[in-house]
Amino acid sequence: MRSLVIPFLFLAASVLAQDEKHLKNIKQLTFGGDNAEAYFSPNSKQLTFQSNNSKWGLSCDQIFLLDIQKQLRDSTAKPALISTGKGRTTCSYFMPDGKKILYASTHAVNDSCPPVPHVKGKYIWAIYSSFDIYVADGKGKIVKQLTNTPGYDAEATVSPKGDKIVFTSTRSGDIELWVMDIDGKNPKQITSELGYDGGAFFSPDGKKIVFRASRPKTEEEVKEYKELLAQGLVAPTNMELFVCDADGKNLQQVTKLGKANWAPFFHPSGKKIIFSSNHHSQKGYDFQLYMINLDGTGLEQITTQSLFNAFPMFSPDGKKLIFSSNRNNGGGRDTNLFLADWKD
């Protein structure tokens, strides 16, 4: 029965995107659980991603390595586990050699998944102070620990130039962006305004960084932000996109759309940004992919299907787009990975 179901699911996924003109030949890569933050290897043949698929015996997110062609041939295959299987993980990314993967994990503090916080009436993210950034080889062996500072260290990505890593840290008291050398040395803070700065990525030439940020302004907003931060929490419901040079200089705000604008990634040209946003939604929970010029002009909607589309990333050759979506999940809650040919 499984061999009959999978082709239907692939067909359905393609049909769902008829009016999404930039996305062609969509293929669904995962089937079950929450699968997100998938990023290409330098040769575009593999993906690293996080999943909490209970069918794989998971209680919270762990990091996996997926061979794209193997997964397209057999979508029932379980990708290789890269993280330790302990604690909670997030934000993996390929190192320049394409053989090692960095990711953040809480496993050094506790083997168990850290508790998921709840604040009545608010959607929040946990900023676990037990997160540190590690590098593992293709078989999951940790070969290096890049951070070992009190506080949250996560959301790390690598420059295409292969020399720098940008990451998010609370080591200075607020949630700021930092850069460090590829070996973890010489950390330097590059943002300093009050608010959450995170989810950063380098431009294709490695000269710029795009990221999401909250900027509490009113006395009430500042008070709430600081109170949540003291509890290791952040409310990501109001975020805009910013761009700066790789050293933090020439900071400029790109979006002024309101609500949550996040998961940005540079278009291969380096002149546009693709991202997820619910600014258009009356309900709040309707995230579609958009693209915008660096100067904030030319906003264009990319996806129209399902109520959640996020974590877009272009392949290094610019021919493919990987993203996460709730589409084609039978009305359930699963978030899966989708691979599409990109057409400008």
CATH number of the domain enclosing 238: 2.120.10.30
Q: What is the pLDDT of residue 18?
A: 65
For every residue of 123-190, DSSP letters joined together read --EE--TT-EEEEE-TTS-EEEE----SS-EEEEEE-TTSSEEEEEE-TTSS-EEEEEETTS-S-EE-
Q: What is the pLDDT of residue 284?
A: 67
What Cα–Cα distance (Å) separates residue 54 from each residue in 21, 35, 81, 139, 260? 34, 11, 14, 22, 28
Secondary element (H or E) of residue 210: strand 208-213
Q: What is the pLDDT of residue 79?
A: 96
Residue 75, pLDDT > 50, answer yes
Confidence at 12, pLDDT banded by 50, 70, 90 = very low
Q: What is the pLDDT of residue 120?
A: 87
Confidence at 19, pLDDT banded by 50, 70, 90 = confident
Q: What is the pLDDT of residue 76?
A: 86
CB-CB neighbours of 285 under 10 Å:
11
- Structural domain span for residue 306: 2-342
Mean pLDDT over the full length of the chain: 93
Distance CA 195, CA 257 (A): 17
Across 190-209, average pLDDT: 98
Confidence at 5, pLDDT banded by 50, 70, 90 = very low
Q: What is the pLDDT of residue 263?
A: 98
Strands (E), 284-344: 288-293, 300-301, 309-314, 320-325, 336-342
Judge whether 72 and 79 are in contact, CB under 8 Å.
no
User: What does pTM read for this prediction?
Assistant: 0.94
pLDDT one-digit tens code per residue, 303-338? 999 999 999 999 999 999 999 999 999 888 899 999
Distance CA 284, CA 277 (A): 10
pLDDT one-digit tens code per residue, 240-297? 999 999 999 999 999 999 999 999 999 999 999 999 999 999 876 899 999 999 999 9
Q: What is the pLDDT of residue 10?
A: 39
Secondary element (H or E) of residue 70: helix 68-73
Across 57-69, average pLDDT: 97
Strands (E), 30-145: 35-40, 46-51, 62-67, 80-81, 89-94, 101-105, 125-126, 132-136, 142-145
Q: What is the pLDDT of residue 261?
A: 98
Give the distance from CA 70 to its chain's centroid.
23
Q: Count of domains in the chain? A: 1
Confidence at 2, pLDDT banded by 50, 70, 90 = very low
